[in-house]
Structure 1
């Protein structure tokens, strides 16, 4: 935790300006009033090229009765933004700041620790004193200051350092961010017979969306040693675009890791709001489709990314719209090309099967008009016509027969499936 340090004994200055770490040098000096402390000893940035990178700082007032004014300065104002750059912390209370690194095309010239980037947190009982203080030397008017260095880390730079053979940088990043170690162990074994760390995990962790899409859904079921899917890993790394790509590829957003956390839980814990937005967008799409909320759905689909997800049963928003008979939603989802009209859940039910189950002749007719296969069968062999006959939907059965459906080869008995309540033949 970074705090203002005591000043030298002679002559006694009115302000202490000292590094955030290195307390031993001032241990035997007379104490000056410490107004503020910073929980972090460095500004830790998870760097990603061409993206805004963020870090949070937590300030705590040490004054028992008066507000402490603060002001944050940086040696690189063209690179960094601070929000808020100044303010006041109430007595013995805390406040949070956000540091934003503007998008940078290339990796930092020096990392993990930057040679040229610094932050100065000035504090005083008088806001006017902050404006009269020098930014790079001892301040005046009872102002104390804490200097913070910048540490650049994250999956991208770890990979970059490893590929360059920079063992020192790799060690420094892992010392500060040990949770990144699995990224350097792609073949590590995992317990309970689960699959090994898949290339999809590594691509998701470093935000390589092109590689994620190239690898496709074949490795989607792989888990790491902590039971995390590739979507968990993308969420933990704050890789919103990779998370959106995985959702669109059919990643199970409801999957839980060994600790019972979903990818959304992980993103919320880490404070990665962009990932949270992607995962919540998928949930909102599913809810809007279920309710037939066309206006909300149109707004969500305009964002495109992260809207074609599936639940734990493999059901898409199109499945939900079909079983509820929301024809306008079906037309939007399938007609725009956003979702495949023949998409299947884990038991092979297509939207046409669920439209039959929902008893909506209008939805069945619309799906057929849009090209749905009238003879489509589930994994247990149930066709839409068999389902309609078994459920007693005579009008729908007549409609399906009129479109060429043939029940001659239908098994005699059909039963409801356990996952989606659809009909499957025994």
Structure 2
């Protein structure tokens, strides 16, 4: 349910970007549907339910931890969507790959980032999952995904883990730009932008039309963002 809400908020942000003239992508991350969940068996079912005893038995019996569902999700992806953190830990300890991508090219880190789930994100990072992968059909990153949604705590944790600050996706947007053009200018997007600025994000990287973050914030009337960018020396 939380993942679905995150996708819904993403769609609203994209519509807001369209209203201001920005080219907005469409939502790509798809959590398991009710039909998917009903069809799950084996490790996928145990991961979704957080059934640790069943998962342990399946691992002992040699179950394939990299088996995929109809959208290419492994048990680790499913457990991440379901926020089943102990199942994630057990899968990792059993040798499940932490950085695999599902069909829409999302990894577990990006799934947790989109779902605004700092606890699961931190667990994945502690287990060795990488915050540096290029993910999604937009050639983005978990940091970009979190920034455009205004998931400020997730953004701070990804920054601390070494996520690339200035990655440019195939829309020619960085995390800093997405916090503006796909944000609402409100407190969470303001904190997201501040975290990126304070971490040393490049303030001059422009979008495809040559608009810098400062110009984009001014165009939208996001006064607090403008103030923060100007104070940091943005042009």
TM range (shorter): 0.5 to 0.7
Instruction: Please tell me whether residue 378 in structure 1 is matched to residue 207 in structure 2.
Output: yes
CA offset digits 1:249-301 (Å, max 9, x no partner): xxxxxxxxxxxx97x379xxxxxx94698335954322211232110001112
Instruction: Please tell me whether the aligned partners of residues 278 and 306 of structure 1 are also in contact (alpha carbons under 8 angstroms).
Output: no
The match for 1:402 is: 231
Give 1:333 deviation, angstroms: 0.8
Instruction: Please tell me whether residue 330 in structure 1 is matched to residue 123 in structure 2.
Output: no
Instruction: Please tell me whether the aligned partners of residues 282 and 306 of structure 1 are also in contact (alpha carbons under 8 angstroms).
Output: no
The match for 2:219 is: 390
Instruction: Please tell me whether the aligned partners of residues 279 and 306 of structure 1 are also in contact (alpha carbons under 8 angstroms).
Output: no
CA offset digits 1:118-160 (Å, max 9, x no partner): xxxxxxxxxxxxxxxxxxxxxxxxxxxxxxxxxxxxxxxxxxx
Match of residue 342, structure 1, among 166, 172, 191 = 166
Query: TM-score of the superposition, structure 2-length normalised?
Result: 0.52
The separation in 2 between residues aligned to 1:350 and 1:388, in whole angstroms, is: 14
Instruction: Please tell me whether the aligned partners of residues 356 and 387 of structure 1 are also in contact (alpha carbons under 8 angstroms).
Output: yes
Give 1:302 deviation, angstroms: 2.3
Instruction: Please tell me whether the aligned partners of residues 326 and 363 of structure 1 are also in contact (alpha carbons under 8 angstroms).
Output: yes
The match for 1:15 is: none
CA offset digits 1:47-68 (Å, max 9, x no partner): xxxxxxxxxxxxxxxxxxxxxx
The match for 1:300 is: 124
Equivalent position SS for 1:297: helix
The separation in 2 between residues aligned to 1:300 and 1:352, in whole angstroms, is: 24
Instruction: Please tell me whether residue 291 in structure 1 is matched to residue 115 in structure 2.
Output: yes
The separation in 2 between residues aligned to 1:330 and 1:368, in whole angstroms, is: 12
The separation in 1 between residues aligned to 2:99 and 2:198, in whole angstroms, is: 35
Match of residue 278, structure 1, among 96, 100, 125 = 100
Give 1:382 deviation, angstroms: 1.7
Give 1:405 deviation, angstroms: 2.0
The separation in 1 between residues aligned to 2:73 and 2:226, in whole angstroms, is: 44
Instruction: Please tell me whether residue 320 in structure 1 is matched to residue 149 in structure 2.
Output: no
Give 1:327 deviation, angstroms: 2.1
Match runs of 1:71-82 below 5 Å: none
Determine which structure has the larger helix proportion and give its number: 2
For structure 1, which runs of at least 5 residues remain unmatched after alignment? 1-82, 85-97, 101-237, 241-260, 267-272, 407-426
Max Rg structure:
1
The separation in 2 between residues aligned to 1:325 and 1:383, in whole angstroms, is: 19
Do the aligned partners of residues 99 and 279 (structure 1) sit closer, same or farther apart at CA in structure 2, a change above 3 Å counting?
closer
Match runs of 1:53-72 below 5 Å: none
Do the aligned partners of residues 301 and 380 (structure 1) sit closer, same or farther apart at CA in structure 2, a change above 3 Å counting?
same
What's the RMSD between the two structures over aligned residues? 3.4
The separation in 2 between residues aligned to 1:274 and 1:390, in whole angstroms, is: 46
Do the aligned partners of residues 384 and 279 (structure 1) sit closer, same or farther apart at CA in structure 2, a change above 3 Å counting?
same
Do the aligned partners of residues 99 and 278 (structure 1) sit closer, same or farther apart at CA in structure 2, a change above 3 Å counting?
closer
For structure 2, which runs of at least 5 residues remain unmatched after alignment? 1-59, 75-94
Stretches of 4+ moved more than 4 A in 1?
Answer: 273-277
The separation in 2 between residues aligned to 1:327 and 1:336, in whole angstroms, is: 14
Determine which structure has the larger strand proportion and give its number: 1
The separation in 2 between residues aligned to 1:282 and 1:388, in whole angstroms, is: 29
Give 1:315 deviation, angstroms: 2.1
Q: Greater relative contact order: 1 or 2 (C-alpha under 8 angstroms, separation 6 or more)?
A: 2
CA offset digits 1:214-264 (Å, max 9, x no partner): xxxxxxxxxxxxxxxxxxxxxxxx9x8xxxxxxxxxxxxxxxxxxxx97x3
Question: How many residue pairs get matched?
Answer: 146
